[in-house]
Structures are given as C-alpha cells and as structure tokens.
Amino acid sequence: MKLFPDNFLWGGAVAANQCEGAWETDGKKESICDHLTAGSLNKNRVFTSEIRKEERYPSHTAVDFYHHYKEDIALFAEMGFKVFRLSIAWSRIFPNGDDEIPNEEGLKFYDRVFDECHRYGIEPMVTLSHFEIPYHLVKAYKGFADRRVIGFFERYVRCVMERYKDKVKYWLTFNEINFATMPMGNLEVLGIINREDDEVANPLDDKNLRFQALHHVFLASAKAVAAAREINPEFKVGCMIAHITMYPLTSRPEDMLLLQELDHLINDFCADVQVKGSYPGYALRYLEENQIQLAVEPEDEAVLRNGCVDFYSFSYYMSNCVTTEEGHATTLGNLLGGVRNPYLKTTQWGWQIDPKGLRYTLNKIQDRYGIPIFIVENGLGAVDQPDDNGFICDDYRINYLRQHITEMESAINSHVNLMGYTVWSALDIVSSGTGEMKKRYGFIYVDKDDQGNGTMKRIRKKSFYWYKKVIETNGGDL
C-alpha cells in the first residue's frame, strides 16, 4: 500500500484575527472581528458597533503572534512543518480598506513572517480574507453588499501578490465562503451589518442582500484568481469551503431529498461557482424560488468563468444528520448544527466526531471536481489541563487526528488527489465561534486564560511530539 506522496504538505493553520493581537499596532486599524466580544458555549459573541470599555474583545491581543512569530515559527519548524497556513489581516495593509496607498509597516510585518518561514523551508499558504474585512468598509459601504468593495479587495490582493510574489505560492481567497449561504448567514465573510443598533444577532435575514453580497464575493474571488495568473503563473489559488458533511437520519425518500437540497445549498453552491465558473442550475432555482433578484453586470459571467480556482480546499470538523421528521435530538457544529447521529460521539463543544465522514467527503469532492484537494482545517477543540509539571497529555487530540489521518490515507489509496493537510490549529489561538481561549486546538499550549491573564509562554504538548513523528515518517508512524 502506498502511504502519503513524497511531496505531501504536512502543516498547521491559523488566522490573523485569532492569533496576531496587536490590533492597532504599526498603522493597523480595526477589522470586523475586532468588534466581536468574548463569548462561550452558552453565551453568544456579540457584535458592538463601538468598542466598549467594559467588554473584552479577544482579537485585540489574541496570543500576540505579532510579537512572538519568530518563536512560534521555530516551534513549527521543530515539528517539521512543510507548510504553514495563515491569513493576512487586510486592515494591516489597507487600514480603512479604501485607502489609495498601502501601509508599509503592515507589509513589512508579513515580509518578516514569510522570511522566517523560508529560513526553515516552510511554505506559507495565505488566506486573503479570513473573516477580516476592514471595519471602515463595513460601516461606510455595508461590506460586500456594495459592488465598489470588489475593487478595494482587488487592489489589496494585487498589492500583496506583487509584494510577496517570490515568497508565497499558495493562496486561498475567502475562508469558509459558504457560510454566507446558510440560514443564519455570516457577518464576517460578507462584512454586512444591516441594523444600526448594537448587538446584532441575525443581521442577514434579508436574503436578497445576502446573496447579492455573495455574488460580489464570487467576483472578488475570481478577480483574485485572475490577478494571480498575471502576477506569477506559478501561483496556485484555492477556494475554501467549510464542508458540513450530512447524512439522512432515516431511509425515507423525503430525507434523501432534503439532504440533497441542503448539500447543494450549503456545501456545493459556492464550490461549483468557484471551481466551475458559473452558477449551477439548482442555485438558479433556489434564487428564483426565494424571489432573490441579483443585480448582475454584463461582464460578470466572463469574470466568473476566468476565475476558476486551481485546487479545492476545505475545513472538516464533524458531520450532522438531517431529517424531515420532527422531534429528534439536535447537535451543535461549526456554525451549523443538525440532527444528532446516534452512532457518533461528540466533543466537549457538542461537535460530532466522524473520521469516516472525512473519507466520504474526500471521495465526494474528488468525484465532483477532479482537481487537487487540500484539507486546510481539521482538529479537536478541547480543554487542556496542564499536569503538576505543566505538561499537557492530550491523547484525545492525538486520537482524533490519528483517526482522521488514517481515513486520508485510505482516500489517497483510492486515488484521491490530496495535496496536503494543515491541522487546526498550529498553536492555541482564540476560538472563532466562541471567542474563548479554553477551547484549544493547538500542538503548542499558550499560557493565557479567558480573562486575558497568563504569561503567553509557549509549551509543547504531547501531540507536538506525536505530530513531529508523523511528519518525519510521512504518515508511516501514526
């Protein structure tokens, strides 16, 4: 049996707003996520239009990667990372989003980060937009609801692609873009707040606005791909989908049809547009049935057609069930919950653990698109308790990752073209969903708690040594 290919890209991932901190340092201005308060499993994060003294905003300090990047990258190198996925904070480069001139200090920061990666032979993979639209664009333009924001995004993309054309080869456009199609929408992907008051709970109930903004995000993504082709033909650009794998709870035909409908809307719609370059038929029907009328310009069709991505990247954490029957127990998940699967266990945050679902998902993506695939997020959020010696024995995380990697190997043996795997997360960072520190995903413990106390010291967990061995043996020793 063939194991992982020799050039398989093992690594880890983070996002700027969850790790960098330094939210107003060296010319950076606020981004949308700098307005999200801390929450927990039982308390939603709240968006506030002004920064309030009495609230805590976890992204403001996060785990201070901005000042610890050298130490952190050295630790990634010690594990043997081949690739490190991170995002660029748009508001470090264009602090307001619509500025004419980029912020040189912001550009220099990522120069230093990428140089540090290359010192160790680590290939950076950059997400251009990971829930990080500059706040000024949110306030003054309603984010991507305004077509002009496509141009601001393109200016930012061209600027960073030109600047880093010899330092970065792999680019992802919009993180988990498909959250925008989900019933509760996603504030950060689209950058929309459509109420003037604070504490916006569900700002995207206006479907027309939501899908119009998503159309603009598709165009922005396609323009980023076109820019990449011009700037460096060696660049590889991927889409980034949160794959919410679903099963029918029962064998009722109605459940199967519901599954197909949700799978189309939630998982396939955005990827079909970004990989194939046009809206699929079921999406047109959805728009019609929901009386959504998109304002489309004559050139949009060609823009989408010329902006097809090179590879399909996705996050995978759990699976859910769907059913037309009432009264079944429900479960939580990566923004979207579902119906409980009686055969699966859950994490401490109620996400169902399903390694075999990853194999099913890889097979599905390979069959549907036939382009290279990259798993850019997969991991276990758990409470880590240091022992008396300060060591974290995270066997639960090792087990989770081992089971998922085993399924990846099976998929590769079925000729799934998997390029690489970046575990979420390289080191402990702020949770995106809850804003907590205690929901930890990393191989490296960061000494900081939910109240913001701690030394920020980095400590290798047991999983650190395990993953080092996995990479050393190219997946041979799990």
Among the listed residues 31, 323, 417, 432, the single contact to ligand BG6 using CB under 6 A: 432
127 binds ligand BG6 (CB under 6 A): no
**Closest distance between ligand BG6 and the C-beta of residue 242, in Å?**
6
- Rounded Cα distance between 384 and 365, Å, is 33
Binding track, positions 334-363, relative to ligand BG6; x by CB under 6 A? x-----------------------------
Instruction: CB nearer to ligand BG6: give 18 or 422.
Output: 18
SS3 state of residue 199 = coil
**Closest distance between ligand BG6 and the C-beta of residue 377, in Å?**
6
- Rounded Cα distance between 57 and 45, Å, is 9
- Count the alpha carbons within 13 Å of 217 in the hemisphere toward its beta carbon: 36
Taking the mean position of all CA atoms in its chain, how far away is CA 174?
Answer: 8
- Rounded Cα distance between 59 and 137, Å, is 18
439 binds ligand BG6 (CB under 6 A): yes
Q: Of the candidates 207, 88, 215, which has an alpha carbon nearest to the alpha carbon of residue 146? A: 215
Among the listed residues 361, 422, 431, 463, the single contact to ligand BG6 using CB under 6 A: 431
- Whether residue 11 contacts residue 423, with contact meaning beta carbons closer than 8 Å, is answered with yes
SS3 state of residue 315 = strand
Among the listed residues 116, 123, 132, 176, the single contact to ligand BG6 using CB under 6 A: 176
Which of these segments, 153-161, 201-209, 318-326, 427-435, binds ligand BG6 (CB under 6 A)?
427-435
- Rounded Cα distance between 445 and 7, Å, is 29
Among the listed residues 97, 248, 381, 420, the single contact to ligand BG6 using CB under 6 A: 381
- Rounded Cα distance between 268 and 179, Å, is 12
Among the listed residues 16, 220, 228, 242, the single contact to ligand BG6 using CB under 6 A: 242
Span between the terminal Cα atoms of the chain, in Å: 15
- 326 catalytic? Reply is no
Catalytic residue among 30, 377, 407, 436: 377
Instruction: CB nearer to ligand BG6: give 5 or 350.
Output: 350
31 binds ligand BG6 (CB under 6 A): no
433 binds ligand BG6 (CB under 6 A): yes
CA distances from residue 9 to 121, 212, 465 in whole angstroms, order as listed:
12, 36, 18
Residues at the interface with ligand BG6 (CB under 6 A): 15, 18, 175-176, 242, 315, 334, 377, 381, 424, 431-434, 439
Catalytic residues: 377
